[in-house]
Structure 1
Amino acid sequence: MGGATALTIRSLTERLKAEAYGLGFDAAGVARLGEPTTRAAFDAWLAAGHQASMAYLEGEGAARRRDSRLPHPGATHAVVVAASYGGRTPAGPVARYARGDDYHVVLRERVRELHGWLEREVGRPVNVRPYVDSGPILERDLAQRAGLGWVGKNTMLIVPGAGSHLFLASLFVDVALDEDAPFDADRCGTCTRCLDACPTGALPAPRVLDANRCISYLTIEHRGPIPPALREGVGGLLYGCDICNDVCPWTVKFARDTAFDAFRPRELFADTHDRAGTRALAREILMMTPADYAAAFRGSAIKRAKLWMLQRNACVVLGNVGTDEDLAVLEAMREHEHEIVREQAAWAVLQLSRGAV
């Protein structure tokens, strides 16, 4: 936009954000790319080993996260958007964000629509790159700088009027835009409900998440056995965890239904919101063949975890919330081809035989 005035830049930015809201996003803002305000905290987090086995957060991945101008050379600004994935649906064994279609695909397509609109408005090709939880970016820092909300004590971005059950996405562009003021207020106050509620102690301090103890990490990213000391804390959670979101007063009050049909729960998760439903889902996963797994989770973010990992999780869940009726399938898992599943199944059988539940 050669010769663009502040007025035309402001108008373009306002219309761009209006387009984002029209596409179904719950919040939108603009930030200039550069060094994140949380760089020192990020480095301290890495130094403490809180990233667990997620090596992609280290080395070159860490270097790129220390300056958001690095991932996509030439980009100067980021349009940051947030989309609800349905925080009003009941809690269950699968985290809400994973019950529908893969958010990476759904939101990337929607952000590309925003790209197309921008190119039509400025009348030239725009050098862009969309990011949906897929690049070396400190996304919550960028969202806070774009004015969307603040990072709560549970390390989640909290958006006033929308809570924290939100996906974040961004569009890096080489177009001059009017930047939003950063959201500098901390509205958590003295509340520590999220820290107190975590069953595995993964929040040792406000805004510090120790992935080594986090149920989401243990059930999705972790490739080893779930540590014995943390298994009972996993409870009935098969994939991910919503606890620190669910207890947040801001989310309790302001969580929204999703505007995206693709994020609505699949039929597989329709009746899994009580103990019986959790047990039934765990048994179904344990009995899945690779073909069953591929069919059930086609186009789902749940495929981030391999079948044997889901079966490992299911053994732990049944060890925590199962009954004698689940012993047969657990005994069968003691012959599983994967050593970790065999060990977790043996633990679950022992739990049930001791009458621990």
Structure 2
Amino acid sequence: MQTAGLEQKNWAILKRAAQSQGLDCIGVSDTELQACEPHLQAWLNAGMHGEMAYMAKYGMDRLKPDLLHPGAIRIVSVRVPYVSSRQLQGDGSAFCSTTMTHIEEAKAPYISLYARGRDYHKVIRQRLKKVADLVNAQLMQEGQYGFRVTCDSAPTPETEIGRKAGLGWRGKHTLLIHPKEGSLFFLGELFTNMPLPLSGTFEGEHCGACSRCMDACPTGAIVKPYQVDARLCISYLTIEHESAIPLNLRPLIGTRIYG
């Protein structure tokens, strides 16, 4: 079978398997990730990773998918929303409006929306593992492919992979943005040697002159467009940071205790 025909056949099988696991937002990128090396190196050189020693440990190796999964030629990226589009559209659902607009007035400790359900690392990895098993079960007679499943669980540039897979564009807060879901979603990946057609990057950069994410950050962690200093980030300070939170940042964090 010609390459294009094989890729399309594999894509159809993969997409059906993903949809059966509730993974409807899916794209495919190549394994060329070196374009973000200068930015990553400068960020590390500036010490903006704080106490996250693993960021420096793996360094540029996170841009080499072949080290993570030898023989990888494609990366399948999935986007999994943790707030439904119905809630985002303001149809009367109290969950999103209450938790996202009343943080400052809250008297009780506030936990980030993404951390309120089951551990997403396990849930998404399990679904992706099932996808890989379903694909290989269908291709049993024609040969099987290798897969490496990740979800914020391996040294990978997830945002760059998602951008190249067409799942959104990189915002000034460094996260992926989708016009209907914002940044309220998880990302997961399948590294594979399976021939698949490329999805192509998301069309355009849509932030323009907007600085709402930078203005909204309580601690000013988005020090300039497309650069976050983890040492000021509430998510880092309440999860990754092992030392005492600096006194000057505590009032800015407020009642946010996780994420």
**Offset at 1:20?**
2.0
Indicate the residue corresponding to 2:244 in structure 1. Answer: 225
Deviations 1:241-299 (A, max 9, x none): xxxxxxxxxxxxxxxxxxxxxxxxxxxxxxxxxxxxxxxxxxxxxxxxxxxxxxxxxxx
Q: Is the 2:33–2:160 Cα contact (8 Å) retained in structure 1?
A: no
Gaps of 5+ in 2: 88-95, 104-109
1:20 to 7, 18, 21: 18
TM score, norm. by length of structure 1: 0.63
Deviations 1:122-165 (A, max 9, x none): 32332111001010100110111111111101111112332211
Separation in 2, partners of 1:38, 1:9: 27
Amino acid at match of 1:84: P
Indicate the residue corresponding to 2:65 in structure 1. Answer: 68
2:208 to 180, 183, 189: 189
Mapping of residues 88-103 of structure 1, within 5 Å: 88=87, 89=96, 90-91=99-100, 93-103=110-120
**Offset at 1:65?**
1.2
CA gap of 1:128–1:177, structure 2 versus 1, over 3 A, is: same
**Offset at 1:119?**
0.5
Aligned residues: 237
- Using CA pairs below 8 Å that are at least 6 residues apart, which structure has the higher relative contact order? 2
TM score, norm. by length of structure 2: 0.86
| Aligned partner of residue 58 in structure 1, secondary structure | helix
1:238 equivalent to 2:257? Answer yes
Amino acid at match of 2:167: L
Computing the radius of gyration from Cα coordinates, the structure with the larger value is 1
Indicate the residue corresponding to 1:291 in structure 2. Answer: none
Indicate the residue corresponding to 1:150 in structure 2. Answer: 169
Separation in 2, partners of 1:39, 1:141: 11
Q: Is the 1:26–1:162 Cα contact (8 Å) retained in structure 2?
A: no
Indicate the residue corresponding to 2:149 in structure 1. Answer: 130
Mapping of residues 271-282 of structure 1, within 5 Å: none
1:140 equivalent to 2:140? Answer no
1:108 equivalent to 2:114? Answer no
Q: Is the 2:10–2:195 Cα contact (8 Å) retained in structure 1?
A: no
Q: Is the 1:34–1:69 Cα contact (8 Å) retained in structure 2?
A: no
Deviations 1:25-49 (A, max 9, x none): 2510011113342121111111111
**Offset at 1:179?**
1.0
1:34 equivalent to 2:32? Answer yes
Q: Is the 2:65–2:72 Cα contact (8 Å) retained in structure 1?
A: no
**Offset at 1:51?**
0.5
Amino acid at match of 2:45: A
1:46 to 44, 47, 72: 44
Separation in 2, partners of 1:165, 1:17: 22
| Aligned partner of residue 204 in structure 1, secondary structure | strand
Amino acid at match of 1:202: A
Deviations 1:88-143 (A, max 9, x none): 43235101111111111111110011101211233233211100101010011011
1:160 to 179, 186, 190: 179
Indicate the residue corresponding to 1:85 in structure 2. Answer: 82
- Higher fraction of strand: 2
Amino acid at match of 1:73: P
Separation in 1, partners of 2:52, 2:133: 34
Q: Is the 2:11–2:196 Cα contact (8 Å) retained in structure 1?
A: yes
| Aligned partner of residue 238 in structure 1, secondary structure | strand
Separation in 2, partners of 1:222, 1:182: 34
| Aligned partner of residue 132 in structure 2, secondary structure | helix
| Aligned partner of residue 175 in structure 1, secondary structure | coil
CA gap of 1:204–1:66, structure 2 versus 1, over 3 A, is: same
Separation in 2, partners of 1:33, 1:98: 30
Amino acid at match of 1:30: V
Q: Is the 2:17–2:135 Cα contact (8 Å) retained in structure 1?
A: no
How high is the sequence identity, in percent, across the aligned residues? 38
RMSD over aligned CA atoms reads 1.6
Amino acid at match of 2:230: A
